[in-house]
Amino acid sequence: MDAASPHRRLMLLAPWLALAEARAAEPALRALILDTEPFGYRNAAGEVVGLYVHLMRLLTARAGLAAQVDIAPIARVVHQVNLGTTDVTLLLPFHFGPGVRAIGVALQLELLLLPRQGLVLTRPEDLAGLNVVGFRGTPALGVLPGGIALNLQEVSSARIMVSMVKAGRADVVLGVRETLISGLRAAGLRGDADDGFSPPLSLGHLDVSLWVRPELPVATVEALARGLKGLQQSGEITRLRQHYFGDARLPLTDPPARRR
């Protein structure tokens, strides 16, 4: 090996070293997740955890991007992404402002109707005239057929949602499967006839997309897209859902789960 070889190797590495230094100098990506169990919440130790939080951390790590992940009410999440003061979020379909776009689908969640005992739902139109309780700010109503007159009450907690139906203060819970599971477990319920519920009705699936703020640098957007694709191919998303929800069937076949 000639004496110039180390120098040539340094010359070849120079562009990559410059890129690494530039990345290190960049501010951390600002990620904000809605503060709703099981997607984003603080555990007993005060740590920010949850399915979307965990997913965002895995995704940005695969993208090679430093990220600060926090939680906030859904209205604040949407407002800050629209303003550009938050860079990225994971969320179901939502009416963001101009320039905000989805760059990929991270996972799909099944939308369910969980009715009170004795009430059998066979189609969405059966909701007409019923008292429905759902999560505040939910985009789920967009999948319902037009013309259905809903008496919708929006609340901020999955546990409140299922408890209202059990107590007879609402006829139906409207929410994604994971939200219902979280609420049932928090209330110590299984979601079956013994708990005061009829079998759920599926309304189909909704995409959870990776949304980015207007004018986020192209290189960052491309890195996020690569990170998301790598995460999907690795099977980590499936393992993450299993970690939080097990087999996710209703009624629940397991006892109310510990927070993991």
Q: How confident is residue 135, by pLDDT bands cut at 50, 70 and 90?
A: confident
- Which numeric CATH code is attached to 109-206? 3.40.190.10
Q: Measuring CA to CA, which residue among 99, 72, 93 is closest to residue 221? A: 99
Q: Which CATH number fits domain 23-107+207-245: 3.30.750.80, 2.40.30.10, 3.40.190.10, 3.40.50.300?
A: 3.40.190.10
Assess contact for 86 and 80: CB atoms under 8 A: yes
Q: Write the pLDDT tens digit of every residue in 211-259.
A: 999 999 999 999 999 999 999 999 888 888 888 877 667 787 654 444 4
Chain center to CA of 185: 18
Q: Residue holding tokens 């110039």?
A: 4
CA pseudo-torsion sign 110, 242, 74, 113: positive
This prediction has a pTM of 0.80
- Across 71-99, average pLDDT: 92
Least confident of 70-79, 100-109, 143-152: 143-152
Structural tokens at position 151: 């008496």
Q: What pLDDT, on a 0 to 100 scale, did the predictor assign at position 223?
A: 96
At residue 100, does pLDDT exceed 90?
A: yes
At residue 25, does pLDDT exceed 80?
A: no
Quote the DSSP letter at residue 197: B
Domain boundaries, the chain: 23-107+207-245, 109-206
Q: Residue 48 belongs to what H/E stretch?
A: strand 48-49
